[in-house]
Amino acid sequence: MNPIVFPFQQATRPHFAEFVFYEGFFNPQEVDKIRNLWSSENEVDATLSGGGKTTDETLRKTKLTFIKDSEENIWLYQKIGQLGIQCNHERYGYDLLGFHHELQLARYGEGDFFDWHLDFGAGEISHRKLSISVQLSDPEEYEGGDLQFMINKNYHNAPRTKGTVVVFPSFIMHRVTPITKGVRQSIVAWLAGPPYR
């Protein structure tokens, strides 16, 4: 009996990377403008998606506020979205439709963290294709708080340079290590698309 062979419909992606970073993508003035969007009156404890709106402080502890997709913020959505599309074209080739939820501003204070997890899963997060993290703090502003990726059994740290953007497939295992001093701020975003085929 001959084996069944399925021909590839698209070329493979030889430039696939578990994560890609763009150092200094946002200049200091842009970073300050973004940081000023933090709203203490609208901040919330981070919740876990997929299984409801529960908070599990054994997995995640941080504060969030959301950046509205408004006329004054459209530049930010466009700049992050265009970079995500460019990165996707060069590295991944996923079908993308747009942002999955509003951009999140995250603030990690002393003792805050986000343990190993995937951004992709069942339910509403099953459409996430690319995760995006924007570093808004100077490395000197905090200790700990490394964005790390687990590739096989090895840990890899993302750059901590202010204004850096990190893009990675939402199924890559990652974490933010506990903050031991200071405050780390970042944007978290996801580009979504139809189910994998």
Specify the CATH number for the domain of residue 170. 2.60.120.620
Q: Which two tokens stand for residue 4?
A: 């069944």
Task: Let me know if residue 99 belongs to a domain.
Answer: yes
| Predicted pLDDT of residue 31 | 98
Task: Let me know if residue 14 belongs to a domain.
Answer: no
Task: Let me know if residue 51 belongs to a domain.
Answer: no
Q: What is the mean pLDDT of residues 18-28?
A: 97
Burial class (CB in 10 A: 0-12, 13-18, 19+), 123: exposed
Which of 151-158's residues contact partners 24+ apart within 8 Å by CB, and which partners?
151/18, 156/18, 156/19, 158/19, 158/21, 158/133
Q: Are 87 and 167 within 8 A, CB to CB?
A: yes
Task: Let me know if residue 54 belongs to a domain.
Answer: no
Compute CA distances 193 → 68, 79, 165, whole Å.
21, 19, 20
Task: Let me know if residue 46 belongs to a domain.
Answer: no
pLDDT digits (tens, 9 = 90+) for 161-185: 999 999 999 999 999 999 999 999 9
Q: Which band of pLDDT confidence, cut at 50, 70 and 90, is reported for residue 194? A: very high
Looking at the structure of the chain, the number of domains it has is 1
Taking the model in full, what pTM does it have? Answer: 0.89
Print the domain residue range for 186.
20-40+63-192
| Predicted pLDDT of residue 1 | 52
Which of residues 8 and 145 earns the better pLDDT score?
Answer: 145
pLDDT digits (tens, 9 = 90+) for 82-137: 999 999 999 999 999 999 899 999 999 999 999 999 999 999 899 999 999 999 99
Task: Let me know if residue 146 belongs to a domain.
Answer: yes
Task: Let me know if residue 121 belongs to a domain.
Answer: yes
